[in-house]
Amino acid sequence: MKPPSRPGTVLLTDYAWPDDSVERSVIENAGHTLVTGPAEPSSAGAIEKLVAEHRPAGILTCWAPVSATAIGTSPDLRVVARLGVGLDNIAVDTATEQGVWVTNVPDYCVEEVSDHAVGMVLAWTRGLAVLDREVRAGRWNPASARLRRLSTLTCGIVGFGRIGRATARRLGAFGCRILAHDPHPPRDAPGVEMTGLEELLRRSDVVILHVPLTPATHHIIGSDQLALMRPGGLLVNVSRGGLVDTDAVIKALDSGHLDGAAFDVLETEPDVPAGLSAQPGALLTPHVAFSSDASVIELRRRAAEEVVRVLAGGTPAHACNTPRDLPAGSGDPR
């Protein structure tokens, strides 16, 4: 692995907040220089040009793609830090081969994402979004309500990591039956029945996705999986848009087999398919499940601190890889 670097440049590729003040304070107080790209995420090619121009020792990235070319362009690069959890926008394998750390902040928004998922379930069971639209359109018709008692439903959670467990705790307070699926099931999950994915889909009235996007999970929910779900159910996705085949969801909503689809993320974001936005059973938010006044500040500070830590020669608190040529005795960084 590369040795500690002298004070150098850190590139912030993009950001989903009003300014770069938090990142700048952490980076510049450590003696480094922060260079900020455009707020909106640029293309892979544009990021590659920024890296070639500034030769950063560290990269902070929110949603912009940090390609293999970008990672290989700067000989000074020591760390790529994700302002978030998922790593699907970073060429992790290339970073590993080139001795570059990849980090994330895996636990900054556990409460927020779980709250968002459960909020979407409650909006569906109580008809909040649909009835609000009706009232605002001048239709006051209580007899039209088709509401559900959450405690009588079965909720299936796909992915039982930090956020999945938090969602299970919240749903458990409502008294509903909880199923969960995870490739690495815990030894003990009080109040939760661990099942296979197909069994979870067959038995659940509500299916909530809490899994990362990987080649193995791409379109983990498609037409075959939707067909297994109970008629009239709800699908919630607050993880990554690519987990779901959106066209299959639109067809399931059209047919009435699926009653609701609550999505904070879309495979095509920020573009919303017309067939989805036209669905009365679709509840859509613009990739904000992670966000709160507390979580965003924590995310920005901790991601920047990881960059500073690595540039000072330290080991990241939340390493997502083991860079090639890691010195003997360093142990498992994860």
pLDDT digits (tens, 9 = 90+) for 81-135: 999 998 999 999 999 999 999 999 999 999 999 999 999 999 999 999 999 999 9
Say whether pLDDT at 65 is over 80. Answer: yes
Average pLDDT of 205-221?
Answer: 96
Catalytic residue among 240, 300, 302, 318: 240
Whether the per-residue pLDDT at 4 is higher than 90: the answer is no
Find, among 26, 110, 84, 98, the residue nearest to 321 by Cα: 98
Active site residue 40: no
Could you tell me the CA-to-CA distances from 36 to 20, 71, 128 in Å, in that order? 8, 17, 40
Q: What is the DSSP letter of 264?
A: S
Q: Which of 193, 287, 298, 301 is catalytic?
A: 287
Nearest to 163 by CA among 220, 216, 112: 112
Residues 220 and 217: their CA atoms lie apart, in Å, by: 5
Enumerate the domain spans of the chain. 9-107+292-312, 110-284
Give the DSSP letter string of 203-225: H-SEEEE-----TTTTTSBSHHH
Q: Which of 202, 269, 298, 301 is catalytic?
A: 269
Whether 116 sits among the annotated catalytic residues: the reply is no
Q: Which CATH superfamily is domain 9-107+292-312 in?
A: NAD(P)-binding Rossmann-like Domain (3.40.50.720)
When pLDDT is cut at 50, 70 and 90, the band that residue 182 belongs to is very high
User: How far is the C-alpha of 39 from the C-alpha of 46, rounded, in Å?
Assistant: 13
Active site residue 198: no
* Cβ neighbours for 158, distance < 8 A, ≥ 6 positions apart: 164, 180, 181, 182, 197, 200, 207, 208, 209, 210, 211, 220
CATH topology of domain 110-284: Rossmann fold (3.40.50)
| CATH topology match: 9-107+292-312 vs 110-284 | yes
Residue 326: predicted pLDDT: 56
Span 266-284, average pLDDT: 96
